[in-house]
Structure formats: structure tokens, C-alpha cells
Structure 1
């Protein structure tokens, strides 16, 4: 999964072209009727979309055990941080918040603070015993035990469960949609990852890959549609490797799952994230082409444009193979939007390697990218095998060059859309003016357009002709279909 990094203000500003998933942004949920609960919990999520989805599972479990959600941390009996270990900055942010919550605990004795998610295993002892910042630590596969852990923590004991599971998918739990716009929702289809990229901590914090049964996925998507949602995003660390085997031997792969979800209704948009280039098959691409409501957008992380560095990263493909995959996507889906993840300054990266990254970005013509400089994560294969030998000033300079290139590519991509007409799903008011609507087209680009006097509402589809663009947004006017 990908997350928005925190770098310099200029670099951070350049990444605003994709605000759909709000990675790295904390949020608090709400309950439909918070007064029905005697106790309340407050939760903040950091990192990838999967963490936000997991928080909705946690909310459901807690609701069933007498806890209602609150937006006000000061009235919470239970404060939870759903954490991310992908970047060092994310861990620093979580530590800062935990320190703030410790002060709140002093003013309100009995309040419990818990850490969920990917930081749980790696930092449990330090945060529980040394720094005494939390009362409980719960790993991504142990959320069912959260109510029992709360009871244990209420006795003054330190409550911990960070056991990873080979089969937990939370398939039977109906998530509580937190802070939802009522239009779009995340649906988790699998957990864990088997890829073992050398820079990534996910296989160690979320365990091995396991797919959720397609019947429960379809039931959740159908329920969302019945409740008025118009878009679902199928989530997984590597959705393309989805593979579920029924007891009778029937196999459902990702392309087949995509089709099943698309057939719920032609008016239900289907997105997915994240993809590993090695698993995007022609079957998936042809399924996307077959159904208008499967959005024409693929997040295709490249990480580096250098074959040598890709081998060190254990990405299992070469520069040439990746470029051929981009060609294949363009061939089958000519109007497909493509975005990427890019890492600057991985171990031993040379200037030539860096130039290879810039050139593959230019070749792929990404609409947007998530861009980082490499930060070593303890426990990863890279931390054990390689020396983090690129000076930070070099990493930052290379990242600036990557961001500047992506800025140009994003502008060029949007300029090419001027004069085109797109089907847009209205998500709500524009951030800048209540007189304008904001929505997205199939390619996942933000489109802003005046409401005028049309009888439209959030969740409606509308055709918009683009007359101008910024680096991050298409500007248009409503037209007849």
C-alpha cells in the first residue's frame, strides 16, 4: 500500500493531486447515535488505506461491546491510534500524539490508550514498559480480542496481542463506515503480503497473504450499493494476487472477482488498490475494458527505474519488463490513468540509477505519484542485508528532481484532458466553494465544476466538459450526456 510522505512544504504541496485516500491524515469517527453507549472510543488512523479500513472493523467490534465512537478525544474512555511503520516520519507522528494523550490521561484518570496496527509488534515493549505511553498493544490480526484486552487493561495490567494469523480476514464483520461521504467505501479483499520487497516491513507486520472469500466480499459490496453508496475500492496489499479456493475446489481469481463486483450494478463504480506490476494480467486488463463501471485507473508502483536497484529491492521485474507492462496497459486500455510509487536514494543508488528512475517516469507518463526518499525500516531485508549509504542531502536532492518531473507530467496529463467530456461521480462540495461540486472521473482525476441550477446531489453521475486545469484538478462545466 502507499502513503503520502511528509517532506518539505514544497514537496508536500506537489503531492496534493490525489486526495482520495487521505493517507497519513488522522481522523476521528462518529456514531449514528452516540448517546446509546455508556462508553466512548476515539480513533486516529495513519498510513495506508488498509489502516483506515481496519479502523472501520475495529469500530464495528467495539460497537458490539458497548463502545460508541466520538469525535471529541476529551470525552473518550478509550483512545486508539491505528499506526503505520512504512516511514519513519509516521512513527514520529504517532509518538508525538501518544505523548499528548499521556497528558490527557493525567487529567482524566481511567482513560485507556491503545496502539493498533503495524507499529504494534516492533515497538510494543518500548512503548509499554520503557516510555509507558500506552496501556495496550494490538496487532492487525488480533482486533477480535480488543474487548477482552480492554477489560484486562482496566485492571491495571498491560494488555498485548500481536500474534499474526494465517487465516484471519474479518470476513464476517460488517465495518462501521467512519467519517464516510456516503458515496465511496473501502472493501478489504485480502490481508498480508508474500512479495518480500527488501525495503518493506508489511510482510513482518501484517503476515502472509490470505484472501477473503468472494461471497462475503460480494455481500458487503451489495449491502453498500443497497445503502446508496456508488463506488467501492477493493483493497489489499497486492490485490492482483487475490486467489480464493472454495471447499468444492472452485477458484476465484482477481479478474473474476472484479467482474462479480461490477455485475452488482452498472451504476456501482469499482476501483482497486494496490497492484504489483508482476500480477496485473491480461485477464484483469480485459475485464477492466469489458465493464464501463470498472474504473480505468491502475496504481502501478515502480519504486525505481534501475534494473540493478530493482533487484536489490527484490521487485522481481526489470526496467524493460515494467515498460512493456505499461505498453500493454496502454494497448488494452488506451484511456487508462496510471500512477506510481517512487523511492529516491535506495541503498547504493548511483546517479545513473537515479537518471533511470527519471527516464522511466517520463516513459510511463504517470498522472501522479507517491514519492519518498528511502528511510531504513528495522526488521526489513534491506536493513539486514544492505548499508543505508546514500547521504540524506543526496536523497532529498534526488527526491526534489523526481517531484519536479512528476509535477510536469501531471500538468501535461491534465492539459491533454482540456476539451474532453467525462462522466463524473459527485462526491460533495468543492473545498474552495459551496457553489461548486467536486467529483472524479474514471481515471481518478478530481474534477471541479459549478453547480449552476441543476437538480443534482452527492452521489449523482454527471457529464462534465473540461475547459481548464491546474496541476491537481480539472475544471469544467456540466453538459448534456
Structure 2
């Protein structure tokens, strides 16, 4: 009894961690940013939770690309306000990401329950802003474009502070955009193009490899425009960075996204030929197959240049699978323009692609263009395009039957000892009796291809062709 009372009276030496809930919208860059926000808050005692009701601190990491993105955030904030009220105000709410950058002051005005607004280049300031808020003083908004400040602040700990979940990880190498496509808000929410120094990227990659990461995906709004400084103070390139990353023990696969056709250099194309770690899967958005629409979009390339680029890439790497982005119903798009897009899709033959109906973004030039396409017309065109893209995707997946591909197993499947991994072409691959191989790159014989995945069985080394070790 005495011991029990003593334990109850003693101060708590290991208090329960505070709970952090992050809801991530949009692109892979936001996924990376959410991971790093969790990292910078971990030293403050915040452990992540998947349940918002448990959270002491809620972050909505927002995206401004999709239609009505801001209104969706405000709707979510209304729910968060009710949850905060139910806790007697004992919950901190932050809005991060591109909506925060674009509408910081408006967010604070419209939703007083929000405690912090943090733009994409300022999330390293979260501990300081959180402390100031807790003391009920100081600035509650951190929204600027100083990407160098963010990465300088994060590079001190490098990958040591990063939480790693599985054998794959995102690694931001470049931020911002100088292209100013007329439909896009990224230059206004992420700022000008800026590239991290080579040494910082390699240090982070080495740290990830030491934690068991075998595949890194390099991120940037225009990732193939990368020109970070090397050790001699000279501008590097994505190709040279890829060669250096491939030398890091443990790093077996390298991917990157998103690319712009105008920044796809001969050097980078040749790197795909010469660096086995560079995966034969390339996301290269074109947006439209019509030269007239591409000019209106300010894409600064035409369909001929794009198709010639695809030919050069496939000449260097014959097994390259292509992915892309398409917008239908852009202002002024005619039936002929849309047919040009379908023709380009047939010529390229995509393994996968993303396609969207155009929707205006306030502040972008396209939002005020004449000849806005009626929604019902754009919707019908989108259905036709998506049917063609799906047909190509199914055919590509089916063509893998009988091949032996290296698969990086990432997690357990739903059935028994099943494991799920990724092929070199980013396809999801399901294999039975393979859960003991999670985290490893293993040869798999593909037995069937479905709409969204492949099914395989473990192969013997004798089954693996020379080129399959990618």
C-alpha cells in the first residue's frame, strides 16, 4: 500500500507525448513537407497520431492546385473549430502549404480558431511559432519564399532527424517555378526556382540509406531544372546529382518528379542510359497535344518538340515507360485541338497518366481568358481522354506478363504472407509468401497484369535476365 501511494505521489518522469495530426493535400512535395514538419516538431515531444480526435496539434498541409481548394480548407477548418471547442480550446490548429501562402491573412480573418499559418518555405519556423503562440504573443503567420532559409535550418540535422517508414523516401532537391504557365498558381505560392546544394542532398540521402531506405524519389516543381552548387561552387545538374546518388551504398533506385520538357537535357537522357539506378519510368507532363493550346498555356514547347524528345529518351533507354499530365477544356480549346491531344497520346503510348478538367485559378492569366469551354463539353472530352489513357495503362500492365522484374517490397499485403512492392515502372506488385522480404529488392516473375497492379511470384536467380537488375 505504501509503495502504491508513493508511486501515485511521485512526479511523472515520462509524461505522455503530445499528439500531432497532419492532414496532407495534393502533391508529393506536400507529403515530403508533412514528413519534415513532423520531424521538426518531434524534439518538442510531439508524436504523430492517425486520429484527429486525439490530437493536441492539428496541421492542414494544403494544396492550391485543384478547384475550390481554399474553400475545402475552410470547410475542414470549420470541423476543426468544433473539435477544438469540444476540448475547451486545448488544441492548436495550423494551416500550412500553398493555400496558407496565398491566403494567410484571409485565413486568420475568416477562421479565428486557427493559431498558425505557415507557408511552404517557413515550416522550419514551426517550433518557434508554436512557442510564441503558446505564450500568446508574437507573429502567427510565417509565409515567405526564402527556401534557402528553410533548408539551411533543416540541414543541420539532415536525415538524422527524419522519420523513415519503409524502404522508400521522398527527397526534395528543388523548389519553385519560373515557367509561369498561364493555368498554374505554383510560381505565386512556391516562389522562384531554387536548388539545394549537392552536399546537403547527398548527406540527407546517406542518412536515409543508413536507415534502410533503398529508393529515393527526388522532388521539385521543375526537378530537372536542378542547378544546385557542388563542392567547387559550380552549378550542378540533375544528371550529375543522379550519378553521385547512385554511388551511395544502399541506394539502389532513383526516381524524380515533376519534370518539364524544356529542361530534359541530353545529359539527363544519357544518364538514364548509363545509371542503372535511374528507373525506366519518366513523368513528363505535356498538358495538351495542340500547338495552339500549348502557346496559350505558355508552355514554351510544341508537340513536335515533345514527340522528338520522347523518341530520344526511348533511343537511350528502350524500355522507358512514360507518364504525363493533361488538361482538357482549356480556354479556347476546340474539337480539333482536343483531337490533337488524342493523337499525341496515341503516338506516345503512356504507361500511366493524370488528366484533369480545366478549372480557373484566381490570379492566373488563364482565369480571365475569353472562350472558356462549357463544363459539359470539357467533361465529355475528359471521359474520352481517360478511356484512351486507361486502355493504354491496361495494355502496358498486361505486357509485363512473363517478364522477370526486380521488385522493391514495401509493406505487407492483405492476404496471409502476401507482400506488396513496386516494379521499376512504379506498378504495384502483389506476391504471396514474400512478407519476409520487405525492404529488399527481389526478382519477381510477373504472372498477370491488372488495371492498377501486377501479380507475381518469386523467381530464382537463374530466371533473372541481365538487364532486369535495375
For normalisation by structure 1, the TM-score amounts to: 0.87
The 8 Å contact of residues 337 and 444 in structure 1, kept in 2 or not, is answered as no
Q: How far apart in 2 are the matches of 1:290 and 1:161?
A: 43
Residues 317/37 of structure 1: CA separation in 2 closer, same or farther (3 Å cut): farther
CA contact (8 A) 1:346 1:388 kept: no
Distance apart, 1:307 and its partner CA: 0.6
Distance 1:203 1:54, change over 3 A: same
Contact 1:39 1:77 in 2 (8 A): yes
Deviations 1:189-246 (A, max 9, x none): 1111111111111111011111101111111111111111111111111111110235
- The structural deviation recorded for 1:43 is 1.2
Residue 419 of structure 2 corresponds to residue 437 of structure 1: yes
Work out the CA distance in 1 between the residues paired with 2:26 and 2:353: 16
Please tell me whether the aligned partners of residues 376 and 388 of structure 1 are also in contact (alpha carbons under 8 angstroms): no
Q: CA 1:363–1:160 in structure 2 vs 1: closer, same or farther (change >3 Å)?
A: same
Matched, 1:160 2:144: no
C-alpha distance 74-139 of structure 1, shift in aligned 2 (>3 A): same
From 427, 446, 449, the counterpart of 2:431: 449
Question: Structure 1 residues 96 and 246 mapped into 2: Cα distance closer, same or farther (>3 Å)?
Answer: same
Q: Is the 8 A contact 1:117 1:139 kept in 2?
A: yes
8 A Cα contact 1:239 1:274, kept in partner: yes
Task: Kindly indicate which of the two structures has a greater share of residues assigned to helix.
Answer: 2
Contact 1:439 1:447 in 2 (8 A): yes
Which range moves more in the overlay, 255-264 or 83-92?
Answer: 83-92
Q: 1:438, CA displacement in angstroms? A: 1.5
Unaligned runs of 5+ in 1: 1-34
Map of 2:151 onto structure 1 = 170
Of 11, 21, 32, which residue of structure 2 is paired with 1:53? 32
Contact 2:147 2:175 in 1 (8 A): no
Query: What does 1:279-318 align with in structure 2 at a 5 Å threshold?
Result: 279-318=263-302
Give the deviation of 1:333 after TM superposition.
Answer: 0.7
Q: SS at 2:402's partner residue? A: coil
> How far is 1:177 from its partner?
4.8
Contact 2:166 2:213 in 1 (8 A): yes
* Counterpart-to-counterpart distance in 1, 2:332 and 2:293: 8
Provide the secondary structure at the position in 1 that maps to 2:282. Answer: strand
SS at match of 1:167: helix
**Cα distance in structure 2, aligned partners of 1:433 and 1:375:** 41
Asked whether the 8 Å contact 1:238–1:275 carries over to 2, the reply is: yes
Render the CA deviation track for 1:254-310: whole Å, top value 9, x for unaligned: 100010001113752111111111111121121122122221111000111111111
1:122 is displaced (CA, Å) by 2.3
Contact 1:37–1:68 (Cα < 8 Å) also in 2: no
Among residues 2, 21, 35, which one is paired with 1:42 in the alignment? Answer: 21
Moved over 6 A (4+): none
Structure with greater contact order relative to length (CA < 8 Å, sep ≥ 6) = 1
- Distance in 1, matches of 2:195 and 2:101, equals 22
Alpha carbons 2:411, 2:435 under 8 Å: kept: no
* Compared CA separation, residues 455 and 359, structure 1 to 2 (3 A): closer
Match of 2:249 among 265, 282, 296: 265
Which of 80, 100, 112 is the aligned partner of 1:132?
112
Q: Matches of 2:83 and 2:371 in 1, distance apart?
A: 38
3-state SS of 2:454 partner: strand
> How big is the shift at 1:439?
1.2
Give the whole-Å Cα distance in 2 for the aligned partners of 1:131 and 1:227: 40
Aligned partner (choices 388, 393, 400) of residue 383 of structure 2: 400
Distance 1:123 1:420, change over 3 A: same
TM-aligned CA deviation for residue 375 of structure 1: 1.0
Q: Is 1:464 aligned to 2:444, yes or no?
A: yes
Deviation at 1:151, TM superposition (A): 3.1
The 2-side partners of 1:151 and 1:455 are apart by: 43
1:76 paired to 2:55: yes
> How many Å apart are 1:474 and its aligned residue?
1.6
Looking at structure 1, the residues matched to 233 and 101 of structure 2 have their Cα atoms a distance apart, in angstroms, of: 35
- Would you say 1:379 and 2:367 are equivalent positions? no
Q: Identify if the C-alpha distance between structure 1 residues 119 and 388 changes in structure 2 by more than 3 Å, giving closer, same or farther.
A: farther
Q: Give the aligned CA root-mean-square deviation in angstroms.
A: 2.1
Equivalent in the alignment of 1:19: none
Q: C-alpha displacement at 1:388, in angstroms?
A: 6.5
Based on CA coordinates, which of the two structures has the bigger radius of gyration? Answer: 2
Corresponding residue for residue 20 of structure 1 = none
- Return the offset for 1:37: 6.2
Residue 358 of structure 1, CA deviation: 1.1
**TM-fit CA distance, 1:477:** 1.7
Decide whether the 8 Å contact of 2:209 with 2:251 is kept in 1. no
| Compared CA separation, residues 233 and 37, structure 1 to 2 (3 A) | farther
Shift of residue 38, structure 1, vs aligned partner: 5.0
Unmatched tracts of structure 2, length 5 or more: 1-13, 462-470
